[in-house]
Amino acid sequence: MTKHFFKATALALLLCAASAQADVLRIEQRSGFHNLGKISQSSHFDDFAGSYNYPGYGFTRGDVSYVSDENLIVGSGAAFGIGSLRPVMSNEYWSPISGSIAQSYTLFGFDAAVSAGTVDLSITTNLASYHFKGLVLPDGSSSFGFLGFRATAGEYFTGFELRGQGDGYLAGITDVALGNVSAVPEPATPALLLAGLGLLAIVRRRA
Q: Is 31 helix (H, G, I), strand (E, B) or coil?
A: helix
- Using one digit for the tens of pLDDT, what is the confidence trace for 73-126? 999 989 899 999 999 999 998 889 999 999 999 999 999 999 999 999 999 999
Closest CA to 61 of 75, 78, 73: 73
- Interval 118-162: pLDDT, tens: 999 999 999 999 999 999 999 999 999 999 999 999 999 999 999
pTM: 0.80
Q: Is there a contact between 99 and 64 (Cβ–Cβ < 8 Å)? A: yes
